[in-house]
Every structure is written in structure tokens, then in C-alpha cells.
Amino acid sequence: MTRTRIAKRYARALFELASEANKIEPIGSEIQAIRDLLATNAELHTALLSPVLPRTTKAEILDALIEAAGVDPLVGNFLRVLLEARKLPALGDICDAYATFADEAAGRVRGEAVTPMALAPADLDALRAALSKALDKEVFLDAREDPSILGGVVARVGNLVFDGSLRTQLIRMKETLTRG
């Protein structure tokens, strides 16, 4: 089974438990905070993910982390299950899948706006509002620059692509002219 499929299964289980407890957003924030901590603390990351240390030592380290972080018992138990099942290395993928489930439940979608130059915050907000209206969902956009699109904007939201780039328009014009 692929790592992504495993991550989705664990994320779905956590999401359903969080949903029953009416704690979708807080649980998501806490699991993301643990992910960030492991990403920024090399010693902790190595201690919990190293195959050299015995699982009992890792469990003690994890228990100390859970206590120090003061996370919800649901998150603590989930992390213990991941450790016991040797799935802690998939925590990043699990967090991403959990965020997707939480977004779907809240009627949100995440996307990316690609422009040749940095967008002004007001322009990004206007684009976000237009996409939200078109999709009838709350849209969160990350902005990225790519000079190769020449002008305009390419917005990717979920599996939809709204391509209003100058590069694409020029390619279409060239195809139309060559076809006659």
C-alpha cells in the first residue's frame, strides 16, 4: 500500500474522531504543530524516527513531548498509535490529508495563483473572491511567481485550472493562425 493511501486512512480515522468530538480545527492545528516541531527540531526528529532506538525509548520521548506540548488526549493517543504502527514517518502526509478532509467539511478549497510578478494583496483578494464566487466555496490562495507565463494569471484550485496567461493566449493564437 502506498504511503499516500496509508496517510489518508490514518487521517480519515483522526478526522472522524475529531468530528465526533466537534474539534476538527483544534485537532488539525495541534497535529500540524507537532509536525512543524518535528520538522524544525532535528534531534527530536532523529530520536522519534530513527530505526536504531528501541520503540520503548521512542515511546518515552513521545510521551514527554505530548506532556510538554499539552496536546489534546485525542492527538496524544493518535501519535502513540502512529509510533506503535511504525507510521510516524508519514505524519507529514497525514497532516496534509487531514487538512484536505477539514477543508472539504468546511466548504473550503485551497489553490495557487501563478503570476509573472508578485500580486498586490488587494489583487490577490479580488482573485480569491472571484474564484470563491465561481466555485461557491471559500477559496484560500497561495501566490507564486513564474516569469515564463509572461502576463496574466494561472489559478489552480483543486483539480481545476483557470489559465488566463498571456503565454497560453499566444499559443492558442499561433495554433489558430497555423490552422488557417
- The model's confidence at residue 13, banded by pLDDT at 50, 70 and 90, is very high
- For residues 63 and 77, give the distance between their C-alpha atoms in angstroms, rounded to a whole number: 10
Instruction: Give me the pLDDT at residue 76, please.
Output: 94
Distances (CA, A) of 63 to 48, 68, 81: 11, 9, 12
CA neighbor of 157 nearest in space, from 180, 134, 178, 126: 134
Same domain, 58 and 46: yes
What nine digits make up the cell of 89? 514517518
Identify whether residues 43 and 83 lie together within a single domain. Answer: yes
Indicate whether 163 and 87 sit together in one domain: no
Q: Which of 104, 134, 168 is the last residue of a domain?
A: 104
Are both 82 and 46 inside the same structural domain?
yes
Q: Are residues 79 and 116 in the same domain?
A: no
Q: How many domains does the chain have?
A: 2
Q: Over range 171-179, report the average pLDDT.
A: 88
> Please, which pLDDT band fits residue 1 given cuts at 50, 70 and 90?
low
Domain that holds residue 66: 3-104
Q: Which of 48, 82, 104 is the last residue of a domain?
A: 104
User: Rounded to 10 degrees, what is the CA torsion of 113, 116, 120, 123?
Assistant: -50
The predicted model scores a pTM of 0.74
Looking at the structure, tell me whether residues 61 and 78 fall in a common domain: yes
Q: 30 with 96, same domain?
A: yes
Grid cell 536504531 is found at 52
CATH number at residue 18: 1.10.520.20
Question: Residue 132, SS3?
Answer: helix
